[in-house]
Amino acid sequence: MSAGRVEVIPVTGLGEVRPGDDLALLLRDAGLRDGDIVVITSKIVSKAEGRVRRAPDRTAAIEEETVRVVARRGDTVISQTRHGFVMAAAGVDASNTEPGTVLLLPEDSDASARRVRAGLAALLGVRTGVIVSDTFGRPWRNGLTDVAIGAAGVLPLEDFRGGTDTHGNPLNATVTALADEIAAAAELVKGKLAGVPVALVRGLAHLVTDEDGPGVRPLIRPADDDLFRYGSRDVVFARRTIRAFSDEPVDPEAVRRAVGAGIAAPAPHHTTPWRFVLVESAATRLKLLDAMREAWIADLRGDGFGEESIAKRIRRGDVLRDAPYLVVPCLVMEGSHTYRDDRRNASEREMFVVAMGAGVENLLIQLAVEGLGSAWVSSTMFCRPVVREVLDLPDSWDPMGCVAVGHAAAPPRDRAPRDPADFIVTR
């Protein structure tokens, strides 16, 4: 059912909201009717719920409210809050509050909306929807707009997928964020400087539900489904060593895009010292791993290791067998310089090895950005002739380890904390 005439009405005369105030009681004389949607600025919800903090500046509060920093430029911080919102300064606001204080987002804006809705029903006997709104910036767009951070009794999304447009074209991706649109419409009459923290949106009774509903949770896209899930601060740290993979197949094109990142690494003498062998055939992968295992066992026996020790060491390569896809990065020395003495020749190779490492790291990071897990294993370095034979590679290609690729079977463990200061020497 579509809307006809829609009105957006400012609610004036509320005065200053203080901790402990009952918002439903404050709205008793706002002229509410059945089917109205009440849009409340989160700032007064925070004030009523005592989410006011004494602070000389916002820095400490932002850090406490932040789950992860998504991006940072100068003093501007875009962070994810524990509520799941990605927004500037974790929603900590120093405006419209007494000097020396900051406002934090409500603990649970959906619960706040439910309380106001229940209070209005008890006081006035009206069936309303309630939205708690806040101001967000938007990637790729200038300007701010209000969105819903809490809701009760309002349909948050309208899913048109499976339908057709007026020309009969199928709609495959159209899901409208109704609660956000209503929040933005209400802001037109509230304004930042008008001192009007509440608006009524009338004419959308068909979006008001009998039950409180799911709140804004359906509006928050899960990170795994978000093409932009990694902010600029996240990308490098997105690379994690994954040792257990699911059965989900790997998209070969995603791996090829990761190779594109690999070959963007720096290299000496304007060379391109990287080659990436994509082992996509299951039969070839098994043949390679079996041949490598035999070579390792022979080497370990030759070094005097016992069978139990050999078995333990061999198990370290199981991650390669569990992975549905392998990449073998190879170093080529084309374009390298030859010198008269071994010292400079050794340094020349080291330069190329460093470039190879940069290429592999780029590959691993981009695999993570593509949603793929990976583990770099140095194993091929111990049996290069075997690897070259099985994969039919030129003698001039040096396999520099093997990368297991796949979808993680479980989230990786948290990183061990490391302080950069422990790895820095200043002169």
The third-level CATH classification (topology) of the domain covering 236-423 is: NADH Oxidase (3.40.109)
Q: Is the pLDDT of residue 202 over 90?
A: yes
Dihedral angle over CA of 27, 31, 37, 42, nearest 10: -30
DSSP labels, 200-255: EEES-GGGB-SS---TTGGGS--GGG-TT-S-TTTTGGG--B---B-SPPP-HHHH
Residue 368 burial (C-beta neighbours within 10 Å; 0-12, 13-18, 19+): buried
Per-residue pLDDT at 1 exceeds 50 = no
Tokens read off for 257: 């895009």
Half-sphere exposure of 409 (CA within 13 A, CB side): 9
**Would you place residue 280 in the very low, low, confident or very high pLDDT band (cuts 50, 70, 90)?**
very high
Which pLDDT score, from 0 to 100, does residue 114 have? 98
Contact between 62 and 92 under an 8 Å Cβ cutoff? The reply is yes
Q: Is the pLDDT of residue 3 over 80?
A: no
Asked if 130 contacts 198 with a C-beta cutoff of 8 angstroms, the reply is no
The pTM (predicted TM-score) of the whole model is: 0.75
Residue 288, number of CB atoms within 10 A of its CB: 24
Pick 7-225's CATH classification: 3.30.1330.100, 3.40.50.10540, 2.60.40.680, 2.60.40.10: 3.30.1330.100
pLDDT in tens, 289-318: 999 999 988 988 898 988 888 888 888 778
Q: Per-residue b/e over 114-124, b at no fewer than 16 CB within 10 Å? A: bbbbebbeeeb
**Sorting pLDDT into bands at 50, 70 and 90, what band is 211?**
very high
Please give the pLDDT value at position 161. 64
Range 85-101 average pLDDT: 89
* pLDDT score of 187 more than 70: yes
Torsion angle in degrees (nearest 10) through CA of 261, 262, 264, 268: 170
Q: Which of 36-50, 68-82, 117-131 has the lowest mean pLDDT?
A: 68-82
- pLDDT of residue 225 exceeding 70: yes
User: Can you give the residue ranges of every domain in the chain?
Assistant: 7-225, 236-423
- Residue 7: what pLDDT? 96
Name the band, by pLDDT with cuts 50, 70 and 90, for residue 405: very high
- Count Cβ atoms below 10 Å from residue 95 Cβ, excluding itself: 9
Question: What is the mean predicted confidence (pLDDT) over 133-161?
Answer: 92
Q: pLDDT at position 178, please?
A: 96
Asked if residue 384 lies in contact with residue 399, where contact means CB atoms within 8 angstroms, the answer is yes
Residue 173 has pLDDT above 80, yes or no: no
Tokens of 363: 């590959």
Which residues, other chains included, contact 356 with Cβ-Cβ below 8 Å and sequence gap of 6+? 273, 274, 329, 331, 400
**pLDDT tens digit sequence for 114-141:** 999 999 999 999 999 999 999 999 888 9
Q: What is the dihedral of CA 225, 231, 235, 239, to 10 degrees?
A: -40
DSSP state of 194: S
